[in-house]
Amino acid sequence: MAMKDNDFCRKGRLAIMTGNANPALALKVAAILGEDFFLPIKIDSHRDRECRLISVPDTRGCDVYFFESTNQPDRHLVEIEAVVGAIRRSAATITLVIPYLGYSRQDRRDEPRQWIAVNSIMRRLVYTGVDGLVFFHLHNPASAGIPEVIDPHMKVDPFNARSVILEYLQKRDLKKMTIASADVGGTAFVRSCWERLRESEPEVGFGLAYKVGSGSTGIKEVNVIGDFRGREVMFVDDMTTGGGTIIGATQEALKQGSKSVEAILVHPVLADIEVCHNLAESPIERIVVTDSLRIPERHREILGEKLVEISLDKLLALAVWHLHCDISVTKLFELPGYLESYETMQECLRLMREDSDQ
C-alpha cells in the first residue's frame, strides 16, 4: 500500500469523538491511531433525562469520526443528532462510525401494517447532515443501501466481522472444527468464513441450525444440519437477544455427538439478566463476542469465564485510516489484507511520530 508519511493528515486534521454508548471502543481506536486525535465531549442529561451537551471541543477544519452504537436507540440517536448539530458548521467533514445499529432486525414487512424500522433509523442518520456512514456487521447487509437511496451523495461503508472472526479462529485446531450458522439468515456470511478456513485446512466442517416456528414464549424447535459428531462446533450469529436460538442449536449439536460447542455472537445485545443466566447455565463452553456494545459489569459477572471478548479496535482503526487517506477498503474484508494493512498502518504511524519528535 503505497503512501507518503504525511498522507494521513493531508485532507485535514483527524478528530475521533464518541458519545456515551461505548466510549471504551473509541478510546481503543484512538490509542492505535494516536491519542492526540481524540477530542473529548461531555454529554449529560437534564433532570427529566433530556440529552444535554455540556462541552464540545473545537472541530474547526477537522475530519471528524464520531463513534456511537445505537443499542438504546432513543437515547443514542439523540446524542448523535445533538453532537452533529453542534459541530457540522465548523467541521470539514463528519463521518458516523456505528459499530451496532439498533432496529436493524426490523428490516422487512412480513405481515400487513408492519413498520420497517431500519428505514426510519437510516433516514434520521442521513438527515443529521453528515458526510459519511460506517456500519459494522448489519443484520441485513442490504440495509447499507438505504442511505444512498435517501441521499445519492451519501458515502456509506459497511464492514463485517469476517476478518476479526477468522483472526480469532486461525489460532484454533481447524481440523477438528465445524463452523456453523446459528440461523438461516446468517448462512451466506458463515459460509464465506468456512470457504476461507478451508483454504488452510480442507477438513474444517460446515453446519447450519434452523428454527421450526416460534411462539409467543420463544423458539419452538431448533434443528441442525451438518458434520457435528466428534467435532468442536463454532456457532456464529450476528447477535443474541434472548439466547433461545443459540442454546437450542447447542443442545441439538450435542445430541448429534459434538465434542464441544462455542458461540460467536458478533453483537452482545444480551437483553437482560435472565438471558445472561440462561447462557451461563447452558452447555455452551465459551461465548465469544466483539466489543461493538458495552457489556454491563453485572452481565460480565454472571457469564464469568465463559465470556471471551475480541476487540474491533484494529478493524475500526483501519477503517478510519483508509477512509481518511482515500485508500480502498476492499483489502480489509480478507484476513491476509487486513493483517497486512494493519502492519503498514502501524509502520506509517511510527514514522509520523518519529518525524513529529524531531
Query: What does the pLDDT profile of the chain (358 residues) look like in tens digits?
Result: 444 444 454 445 899 999 999 999 999 999 999 999 999 999 998 888 888 889 999 999 999 999 999 988 788 999 999 999 999 999 999 999 999 999 988 888 878 888 888 999 999 999 999 999 999 999 999 999 999 999 999 999 999 999 999 999 998 889 999 999 998 989 999 999 999 999 999 999 999 998 876 644 455 688 999 989 999 999 999 988 888 889 999 999 999 999 999 999 999 998 889 999 999 999 999 999 999 999 999 999 999 999 999 999 999 999 999 999 999 999 999 999 999 999 999 999 999 888 777 6
Same fold flag, 7-159+313-357 and 163-293: yes
CATH code of 7-159+313-357, in short, is 3.40.50.2020
Q: d(Cα 301, Cα 67) in Å, to the nearest integer?
A: 26
Helix runs in 34-133, H state only: 73-87, 117-127
Q: Which residues pair with 155 in a beta bridge?
A: 132
Q: What cell was used for 176? A: 477438528
Q: Contact 265/246 with Cβ under 8 angstroms?
A: yes
Q: What cell was used for 169? A: 479462529
* Cα 136 → chain centroid: 4
Those residues whose C-beta lies under 8 Å from the C-beta of residue 296, and which sit 6 or more positions away, are none
Helix (H, G, I), strand (E, B) or coil at 265: strand
Q: d(Cα 155, Cα 147) in Å, to the nearest integer?
A: 8
Domain ranges of the chain: 7-159+313-357, 163-293
Q: Contact 286/268 with Cβ under 8 angstroms?
A: no
pLDDT of residue 2: 43
Residues making up the chain, counted from first to last: 358
List the beta strands (DSSP E) in 254-293: 260-267, 286-290
pLDDT of residue 173: 87
Q: Strand order in 205-211's β-sheet?
A: 222-226, 205-211, 177-181, 232-239, 260-267, 286-290, 307-310
Those residues whose C-beta lies under 8 Å from the C-beta of residue 156, and which sit 6 or more positions away, are 132, 133, 135, 144, 145, 147, 148
Counting beta carbons within 10 angstroms of the beta carbon of residue 215, is it exposed (0 to 12), middle (13 to 18) or buried (19 or more)?
A: exposed
158 closest CA partner among 215, 98, 207: 98
Task: Quote the pTM value.
Answer: 0.92
Q: Report CA-CA distances (Å) from 138 to 296, 302, 310.
A: 22, 27, 18
CA torsion angle 231 232 234 240 (round to 10): 110
Q: What cell was used for 262? A: 462455542
pLDDT of residue 1: 42
Q: What cell was used for 132? A: 459519511
Counting beta carbons within 10 angstroms of the beta carbon of residue 78, is it exposed (0 to 12), middle (13 to 18) or buried (19 or more)?
A: middle
> If you ran DSSP here, which 8-state letter would residue 1 be given?
-
Backbone angles phi, psi at 26, to 5 degrees: -60, -35
CATH code of 163-293, in short, is 3.40.50.2020
